[in-house]
Structure 1
Amino acid sequence: MRVLMFGWEFPPHISGGLGTACYGLVKGMNHHNQEVIFVVPKLWGDEENLADFVNGSAISINYREKKFKKIWKNLTYLEVSSFLVPYLGPEEFQKFTDYTIHDKVDVDESIFTNKYEFSGKYGKNLMEEVSRYALVGAQIARDRSDFDIIHAHDWLAFPAGIAAKEISGKPLVVHVHATEFDRSGESVNKPVYNIERAGMHAADHVLAVSALTRNIVIKKYGVPAHKVSVLHNAVLDASIIKSAYQKKVPEKIVTFLGRITFQKGPEYFVEAAKKVIDRDPNVRFVMAGSGDLLNRMIQRVAELRIANKFHFTGFLKGDDVDHMYAISDVYVMPSVSEPFGIAPLEAVRHNTPVIISKQSGVAEVLRNAIKIDFWDVDAMADAIFALLHYEGISKMFKELGSEELKKLKWEHVAAKLITVYEKTIAQQS
């Protein structure tokens, strides 16, 4: 089988879990000898040779064709004044300045008779690039016939997947890694919601990264239940990492590592930290990451007078992430709404016991972890205190967690995905 897959990023150039999941899935497909044509807006040249990569910035668009004009006419974009990531919070999205419906009269013809250079980032022209990426998808689908099915990852790539389906007539699978309801609660950004909904309804099948996400897709987007299946994420390597990196402080360390946004529930972590420090001042808390709630969290820590025991590292990547996991005694993910959440699995790989919210997809596969409601600060504080002070409990969760990881491999996920592909193709024929 040969799959035409549209993503927005691929390691080593990523900004979050979306790129990591794409990497794992493609690697899992390789394990089963399946071929993937992986399209990204911009290739950097140092991607691992796992797929037949296509650089969107190298594709020449001929928009004069009637189908291309129709696709462009139906596309919309936001002109955003700030740099964004694919998981946008409500405060970030409020900065948009213009919303335009395009017709061919808006287009400088020279743009599409040549190549369009994508930034490959999440900048102020993000939504414009999403629209142009759709034309790239259409052009690739027109030029190539050597694929059996189309797979588009998240809303950024949904328009490209739809366009490729319209041109080729091949079945489309869309992969929902997060929804606008996860990012923004009930204050959804309507244009993004519309893109998500259009992708889900145009698709022949919808993949959700958890049962939690599947329910949102069905209830909030009106997608028939029979059309949506769950495909959990996994880990690239299930082995336990034994790091030689040593912490430089005598106290125990409790870590929050993720985007500091509404979705991740950082405020609940701060409130729980206060309760734990009141019971045991020999504990340090770390909030690693960046996001629109960072300044508010810094202010709240100051108000609670725990700044001498609370540290903000900023955004971490590479070895710094591994070092942070290695020196942590407890990892906490208090997400308000987490479609999946790969970070707790990485923490387990570093032999760190985890506390996760019941409102997370990873809670469906990581059974041997302490689970709390994100809003229950008292329960969170009690769980942190127990893991820090009762060695038997901590040791038990470390051992059970490492055993669970062995079942969470990308080749197992890929095997399930291939079955979905086969059924989807059979239903169309």
Structure 2
Amino acid sequence: MKVLMFGWEFPPHISGGLGTACYGLIKGLTHHNQDIIFVVPKLWGDEEPMADFVNASDISIDYREKRFKSIWKNLTYLEVSSFLVPYLGPEEYQKFTDYALHDRSDVNESIFTTKYQFSGKYGKNLMEEVSRYALTGAQIARDRSDFEIIHAHDWLSFPAGIAAKEISGKPLVAHVHATEFDRSGESVNQIVYDIERAGMHAADHIIAVSQLTKNTIVKKYGIDASKVTVVHNAVLDASIIISSFQKKVPEKIVTFLGRITFQKGPEYFVEAAKKVIDRDPNVRFVMAGSGDLLNRMIDRVAELRIGTKFNFTGFLKGKDVDHMFAISDVYVMPSVSEPFGISPLEAVRHNTPVIISKQSGVAEVLTNAIKIDFWDIDAMADAIFALLHYQGISRMFKELGSEELKKLKWEHVASKLITVYEKTLSETS
């Protein structure tokens, strides 16, 4: 089967779990001999050659075609006044400015007579790039007509998926890795929500990364439950890593690694840290990541007077992530709303016991972890203390976790995805 797939990022150039998930899915699909045309706004040249990559920045648009004008007429974009990452929360979204609905039936020929150079990033022209990417998707769908099905990842790529479907008539699978309600709680950005909803309703089938996400899709976006299939994520390599990294501090290390945003619950981690340090000062807490709540977390650590036992590393990737997991004694993911959450699986792979919130999709598949409500900082602190001080408990989670990882492979995920493709094709043929 040949799949036309739209994403926004791909390793090694990523800002979060979306790119990692795309990598795992493509690797799993190629394991099952599926052909993937993977489109990204910008290729950097150092991507692993595991798919037929298409650089949207290389595509020239034949906008004169009537169908292209119709697509462009209905596209919207926002001019964004500051840096925007699609994973971030309401404070970033509130910085949107100058929303305009473009009725572009009078498109100037100069707009698409040359290739559009995408930044491949999440800067101030993000929403304009989303719209242009959609038109590029339509052009690719017209030029590469040998594919059988379209697969679009999250809201950034949904307009491209819709446009490709309109041009080609091929069925569309929308893959929901996170929703606006995960990122922003109830303070959703209406434009992003509208893009998500349009993508879900236009899709012939929807993939949700967890039952938690499926419930949100059904309740908040008005989608029939029969149209949504849950396909959990996995880990790239299920083998346990025996690392040579050594700690350079005498204390035990407890780590939070993720975006420092509302969705990830960093404030609960800080409050739990205070309770643990009060009981045992021989513990060091690390918050690895970046986000709109970073400065607030730094201020709160100062207010609690635990700064000498607390480190902020900034955004980590690649080997730095492996290093962080390897030297950690406990990994904590206190997410308020986590559609899935691959990082706990990565921590288990590094033989690190994990504490995860019950409000996460990964809690549906990872049995051997301590699960707490994100808001229960007393339970979080008790769990951290127990894993640090009772070696029998820690050893049990390490041993059972390593066995559990063997069942969470991307080739298994891909097999389920192929079943969804086949079902969608049979229902739309």
Are 2:255 and 2:287, in contact at CA under 8 Å, matched by a contact in 1? yes
Cα separation, 2, equivalents of 1:23 and 1:166: 27
Cα separation, 1, equivalents of 2:86 and 2:19: 10
Cα separation, 2, equivalents of 1:271 and 1:114: 53
Equivalent residue number for residue 120 of structure 1: 120
Task: Encode CA deviations 1:209-250: one digit per residue, 9 max, x unaligned.
Answer: 000000000000000000001011001100111111111111
Cα separation, 1, equivalents of 2:270 and 2:107: 49
Partner AA of 2:26 in structure 1: V
- SS in structure 1 at match of 2:57: helix
Cα separation, 2, equivalents of 1:64 and 1:420: 36
1:300-319 equivalences in 2 (<5 Å): 300-319=300-319
My pick for the range that moved more, 17-26 or 75-84, is 75-84
Equivalent residue number for residue 194 of structure 2: 194
TM superposition shift of 1:11: 1.0
Task: Encode CA deviations 1:42-91: one digit per residue, 9 max, x unaligned.
Answer: 11111111111111011110111111111011001111111121212100
Equivalent residue number for residue 420 of structure 1: 420
Partner AA of 1:182 in structure 2: D
Question: How high is the TM-score relative to the length of structure 1?
Answer: 0.99
Partner AA of 1:308 in structure 2: T
Cα separation, 2, equivalents of 1:362 and 1:347: 13
Equivalent residue number for residue 265 of structure 1: 265
Equivalent residue number for residue 163 of structure 2: 163
Equivalent residue number for residue 111 of structure 1: 111
Question: 2:273 matched to 1:284?
Answer: no
TM superposition shift of 1:106: 6.9
TM superposition shift of 1:104: 1.9
Partner AA of 1:199 in structure 2: G
Cα separation, 1, equivalents of 2:93 and 2:214: 24
Equivalent residue number for residue 58 of structure 1: 58
Task: Encode CA deviations 1:114-165: one digit per residue, 9 max, x unaligned.
Answer: 2101001110000000000000011111112110000000000000000000
In the alignment of these two chains, the number of paired residues is: 429
1:207-246 equivalences in 2 (<5 Å): 207-246=207-246
- SS in structure 2 at match of 1:243: coil
Equivalent residue number for residue 338 of structure 1: 338
- SS in structure 2 at match of 1:284: strand
- SS in structure 2 at match of 1:219: helix
TM superposition shift of 1:105: 5.7
Equivalent residue number for residue 141 of structure 2: 141
CA RMSD of aligned residues (A): 0.8
Task: Encode CA deviations 1:85-122: one digit per residue, 9 max, x unaligned.
Answer: 12121001111111011122674421212210100111
Equivalent residue number for residue 354 of structure 1: 354
Task: Encode CA deviations 1:318-345: one digit per residue, 9 max, x unaligned.
Answer: 2111111111000000000000000000
- SS in structure 2 at match of 1:114: coil
Partner AA of 2:418 in structure 1: I
Cα separation, 1, equivalents of 2:48 and 2:321: 21
Cα separation, 2, equivalents of 1:219 and 1:118: 35
- SS in structure 2 at match of 1:424: helix
Question: 2:420 matched to 1:391?
Answer: no
Cα separation, 1, equivalents of 2:151 and 2:7: 9
Partner AA of 1:407 in structure 2: K
Cα separation, 1, equivalents of 2:108 and 2:354: 53
TM superposition shift of 1:290: 0.6
Equivalent residue number for residue 183 of structure 2: 183
Question: 2:47 matched to 1:47?
Answer: yes
- SS in structure 1 at match of 2:112: helix
Question: 2:31 matched to 1:27?
Answer: no
Cα separation, 1, equivalents of 2:360 and 2:128: 31
Structure 1 runs (4+) greater than 4 angstroms displaced: none
Matched-pair identity in %: 86
Equivalent residue number for residue 172 of structure 2: 172
TM superposition shift of 1:312: 0.8
Partner AA of 2:60 in structure 1: S
Equivalent residue number for residue 253 of structure 1: 253
TM superposition shift of 1:390: 0.1
- SS in structure 1 at match of 2:419: helix
Question: 2:73 matched to 1:73?
Answer: yes
